[in-house]
Amino acid sequence: MEQFKVVLADHEIPRQWYNIQADLPTPLKPPLHPGTGQPVGPDDLSPIFPMNLIEQEVSQERYIDIPDAVLEKYLLWRPTPLYRARNFEKLLNAPVQIYFKNEGVSPPGSHKPNTAVPQAYYNKVFGIKRIATETGAGQWGSALSMACKLFGLECRVFMVRVSYDQKPYRRLMMNTWGAECIPSPSTLTEAGRQILAEHPDSPGSLGIAISEAVEDAVTHENSRYSLGSVLNHVLMHQTVIGLEAKKQMEAIGVYPDVVIGCAGGGSNFAGIALPFVRDKIYGKQISIIAAEPTSCPTMTRGPFAYDFGDLAKKTPLLAMYTLGHDFVPAPIHAGGLRYHGMAPIVSHLVKEKLIEARAYDQVETFEVGVNWARTECFIPAPETNHAIAAVADVANQAREEGKEKVILFDWSGHGLIDLASYDAYLSGKLSAYELPDEEIARALRAINGFPKP
């Protein structure tokens, strides 16, 4: 009988996260204070994040121990299975082996709890009592709600109003895990009240929600803010995915030629990729691909520049690929990929040509996602479909070139709460969308005058 998956026992879970900062051939560009243009220091960030996470953000240690209390929570769903997609391979009819990590087995159904749990833990041990955050489609808000409940922290999530109204299921998940989910803009913050005064019917945006969450955190006692992607420590927590995958592939004696992940803020991609980027830095022949949407082509078409992480210009300036902090992505269904910037670590790796980025249109990603669902059965999240599109792309190339390839990718989450997007695709309501060149010109204007990295 053929083998379809590799499972690890609880005791085989990785005990450390991998911090790629220790291995980068050239150092990351530091975040800058927008007022002074100087690198931000720990004290600048301490009202927003607990100091133990700030230390992780700048750590140069190669491996950082996963605390026992975090491991114990990880074991609620980790190690996740490594699957071989034999049925999808047959459909593609290409000389490829396709392996994927199924991160959809977590309680909220995505990779997000891999960082939500340690973030809640580090806040807890630092003496913090409550966390505020923002969420778009709700994947991050639901993961953090769950993590806060596990460590007895209060949690308030500002959810973009249009998503709050249109996607009630993830909000209900947050409530079930005991968190407060507030449609943003809200009357609970000065930022929200200002927006509502001018636009009482504002549908909200991620930028507004970030402003509300940060304000909420700094104006409440024993509170901090939490971010679900982009930052160095967030990406590091996600490396548990790639570290497990390596163990699992070693167990069956294979090593990937190609590693793929979809990338919005960058944490899912980094989770599967960074342990393999290390191998590449030390000489391995391996191709590592980040898949993004053509409607939000940050890495494939944006400039590498210093820019704000949010619309409201509340964050430090980050050195990253960006479409400009004022960019409003088209309302594609892969809500997790609608971010104007890209994690500084992922951006740095693209710049250094250690990884490459490819963009796929929403329509082709759903086409391949439906083919996936009809062979491998698990219905992918719309974000995940971008990674599967890259897998099919690589497989088609392998067929044309007659070259055998072993592909590994991160199946970042299931789409059971995103089925309305499949309905839109199956009923022919989706159309292709290529970002107009004018938008790239606008991006260049948005960063005009900022320091150059």
Residues that bind its own copies in the complex, under the rule CB under 8 A: 1-5, 7-11, 68, 71-72, 75-77, 87, 105, 107, 109, 146, 149-150, 168-169, 172-173, 175-178, 370, 373-374, 376-379, 416-417, 419-420, 422-423, 426
Alpha carbon of residue 387 to chain centroid: 12
Task: Please report which helix (H) or strand (E) contains residue 245, including its range.
Answer: helix 240-251
Least distance to its own copies, CB of residue 67, Å: 12
Least distance to its own copies, CB of residue 330, Å: 22
Among residues 190 and 423, whose Cβ is nearest to its own copies?
Answer: 423
The phi and psi torsions of 232 (rounded to 5 degrees) equal -60, -45
Query: DSSP label at 377?
Result: -
- With tokens 């163990």, the residue in question is 247
Residue 84 pairs in a beta bridge with 99
SS3 365: helix
- In angstroms, the CA 225 to CA 217 distance is 5
The token duo for 123 is 């806040």
- With tokens 């022949």, the residue in question is 285
Among residues 147 and 343, whose Cβ is nearest to its own copies?
Answer: 147
- In angstroms, the CA 257 to CA 285 distance is 7
**Which residues are CB-contacts of 154 (< 8 A; sequence separation ≥ 6)?**
129, 130, 131, 148, 180
Least distance to its own copies, CB of residue 176, Å: 5
Position 26, amino acid: T
Among residues 45 and 131, whose Cβ is nearest to its own copies?
Answer: 131
Least distance to its own copies, CB of residue 41, Å: 37
- In angstroms, the CA 54 to CA 339 distance is 23
Among residues 3 and 448, whose Cβ is nearest to its own copies?
Answer: 3
Least distance to its own copies, CB of residue 28, Å: 33
Among residues 9 and 197, whose Cβ is nearest to its own copies?
Answer: 9
Among residues 105 and 162, whose Cβ is nearest to its own copies?
Answer: 105
Least distance to its own copies, CB of residue 143, Å: 10
Least distance to its own copies, CB of residue 172, Å: 4
Among residues 68 and 437, whose Cβ is nearest to its own copies?
Answer: 68
Tally of CB atoms within 10 A around 322: 27
SS3 357: strand
- In angstroms, the CA 164 to CA 395 distance is 38
SS3 350: helix
Among residues 223 and 385, whose Cβ is nearest to its own copies?
Answer: 385
Least distance to its own copies, CB of residue 252, Å: 11
Among residues 212 and 383, whose Cβ is nearest to its own copies?
Answer: 383
Least distance to its own copies, CB of residue 375, Å: 8
**Which residues are CB-contacts of 359 (< 8 A; sequence separation ≥ 6)?**
291, 292, 293, 294, 297, 300, 301
